[in-house]
Structure 1
């Protein structure tokens, strides 16, 4: 069984992007390693039931899990620290529409150990300036740089054999996985409105049902305890039904455990929560939000077909209109069913800008295989229960 368990470990190592998470969040890297070993231990247990020749006591598997975590977590982190010291830092020059924009992007990229960053504005980028870019350096273009300027800088960089990183715009994200064909002597990029096969969509729906049934079974004690706690502290109702935008803009009622007091929005109207400092949140609600357990009833929405396990997070119609006024392409997220979790929830933050969340969600929508992407996102979402700061 050793080759199969090693192959599973390699797959999980890639899915959890070890040790890449250590670059900006050592705690997240530790969690990733723990979950890799936990899934490996569960796979070993399952295999021991199927293959009798591989029948080990459960205590032995538990001991192996503890030893693997104790050894591999510090080993992986030590390797990352060593590699980050000896590897050469990549130099990139951030280019914004003005000096302030370029500087802001440079400051964000400087938080990773992989980059040494400087910044300029588009007006500074000339053919002569390109010749002075250090060998091995790359350029990073901010998403706000106008299209004509992006094209000009891209042509200059390619001509001087300089690598370019683009902070993706909506247009570039939609062109992801576009098909190239020659038509009447023209090279044509075909961007399909829905490039997912019926088989992939059927597999995704099957995954939704299986994950939802398993999750509801595992969290059934939570339903009982949370309902009792909410009722004892603040009375009925225990659940909160909220209107959200679904597939193709259809409004549905999303189910959550109630975490705020009665009539919480009577005076304020629809607005974003202020996190744990929000006075409208009850004590039980604060605990449910910190652990993410307030989202568990949404698996019922998945079984009903209103939502998927993985997809863009559904927004309230009132708030969606405000976002749409600032980000005109926001409604492109409605091309798939909304999800309990998604790319923006795993890779982004609660305070990530709407246009950046849109780019992340569109990268998911335009992916070649939603089913494969879903498996990766689900495995990475498990860590979010232990990272409340990523949801606030």
Structure 2
């Protein structure tokens, strides 16, 4: 049954992302142009992340911060929307979660899924080899644009607590659960729940 669910999941991921890119292409173009003319730097932000079974891949996002932001201020951490490294258009994109849209390309490529544990950095919160055997369960499925931890706690709790929810998702995966998470994600975006750490 799980293999059938995984097949349906991949089919839905591919078709849903492809259709999404086509339908959203005018919005993607407008965002790209706005980013390009409003601040120096590339339209897209590319960063190495850990995927399924610890495989490293490049995640794509719309750039919302100034160039070299990771080497300034709080480094990889963005704690408030007033962080002066965030560009003017970046604040809007983050608030509306539009900066995540390029990850549809990651889903089409097969590096990611629409729903799954969020892909962590290679070195934060841990290097792959330093996750416990239980925590590594989260890597048994492809990372997602959204996930159980995203809709339940987002960035309001430490990574260790988010990982517990990631493992819970992997253990209880079903297509039905994926649809519930997608609906909850839409709700959280509409009501603009906090995306920043405490």
What TM-score comes out, normalization by structure 1 length?
0.47
Give the superposition deviation at 1:243.
0.7
Residues 344 and 199 of structure 1: CA distance in aligned 2, closer, same or farther (over 3 Å):
same
Find the counterpart in structure 2 of residue 296 from structure 1.
101
- Over aligned residue pairs, what C-alpha RMSD do you find? 2.1
For structure 1, which runs of at least 5 residues remain unmatched after alignment?
1-195
Tell which has more relative contact order, 1 or 2 (C-alpha 8 A, sep 6+).
2
Find the counterpart in structure 2 of residue 243 from structure 1.
48
1:378 counterpart (179, 182, 187): 182
Residues 235 and 354 of structure 1: CA distance in aligned 2, closer, same or farther (over 3 Å):
closer
CA distance in 2, matches of 1:240, 1:378: 24
Q: In 1, are the aligned partners of 2:135 and 2:167 still within 8 Å (CA)?
A: no
For structure 2, which runs of at least 5 residues remain unmatched after alignment?
none
Structure having the higher helix fraction is 1
Find the counterpart in structure 2 of residue 157 from structure 1.
none
Give the superposition deviation at 1:267.
4.1
Aligned residues: 195
Q: In 2, are the aligned partners of 1:270 and 1:319 still within 8 Å (CA)?
A: no
CA distance in 2, matches of 1:261, 1:338: 26
Q: Is 1:336 the counterpart of 2:126 in the alignment?
A: no
Q: Is 1:310 the counterpart of 2:115 in the alignment?
A: yes
Give the superposition deviation at 1:322.
7.0
CA distance in 1, matches of 2:80, 2:74: 17
What TM-score comes out, normalization by structure 2 length?
0.89
CA distance in 2, matches of 1:320, 1:219: 33
Give the alignment of 1:262-301 within 5 angstroms: 262-267=67-72, 270-301=75-106
CA distance in 2, matches of 1:245, 1:272: 18
2:36 counterpart (216, 223, 231): 231
Give the superposition deviation at 1:266.
2.9
2:154 counterpart (349, 370, 383): 349
